[in-house]
């Protein structure tokens, strides 16, 4: 498995994704028109795709990072353990992304 580069790639994506987070907060502090612009973007097809991608990058980087914690603590270095941790991080990252979006739609979809 070559997922260490994916950890780095998702980290880079999140780095530039913070611009979206900063834009959203600044718009909220600016006023209704600026905030409506952000909502128009995040509500569009491309905006939703970017936010979905951002969610996955965050969840994958989190799970993959937890895998690094396990290694930092000195566990999980056997071949089968490494494989299990890596696949676990990949699957958990995707599962958490889907879960967050289901909850988001269930809670916020009707508003």
Q: By rule CB under 8 A, what string of x and - marks binding of each residue 53-72 to another protein?
A: -----x---x--xx-xx--x
Q: How far is the CB of 15 from another protein (least distance, A)?
A: 5
In this structure, are residues 7 and 63 in contact, taking their beta carbons and an 8 Å threshold?
no
Residues 6+ apart with CB under 8 A from 83: 1
Q: Which is nearer to another protein, 66 or 91 (CB)?
A: 66
Q: How far is the CB of 24 from another protein (least distance, A)?
A: 9
> Is residue 31 at the binding interface for another protein, with CB under 8 A as the rule?
yes
For 7, 32, 36, 60, the CA distances from 53, given in Å and listed in that order, are 14, 26, 22, 10
Whole-angstrom Cα distance, residue 85 to residue 48? 30
d(C-alpha 70, C-alpha 22), whole Å = 32
Residues contributing to the site for another protein (CB under 8 A): 8, 11-12, 14-15, 18-19, 21-22, 25-26, 28-29, 31-32, 35-36, 58, 62, 65-66, 68-69, 72, 100, 103-104, 107-111
């Amino acid at each position: 498995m070559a997922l260490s580069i994916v950890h780095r790639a998702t980290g880079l994506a999140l780095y530039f994704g913070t611009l979206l987070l900063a834009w959203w907060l600044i718009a909220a502090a600016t006023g209704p028109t600026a905030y409506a612009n952000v909502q128009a973007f995040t509500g569009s097809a491309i905006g939703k795709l970017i936010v979905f991608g951002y969610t996955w990058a965050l969840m994958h980087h989190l799970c993959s990072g937890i895998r690094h914690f396990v290694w930092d603590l000195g566990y999980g270095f056997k071949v089968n353990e490494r494989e299990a941790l890596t696949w676990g991080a990949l699957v958990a990252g995707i599962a958490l992304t889907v879960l967050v979006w289901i909850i988001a739609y269930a809670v916020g979809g009707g508003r």
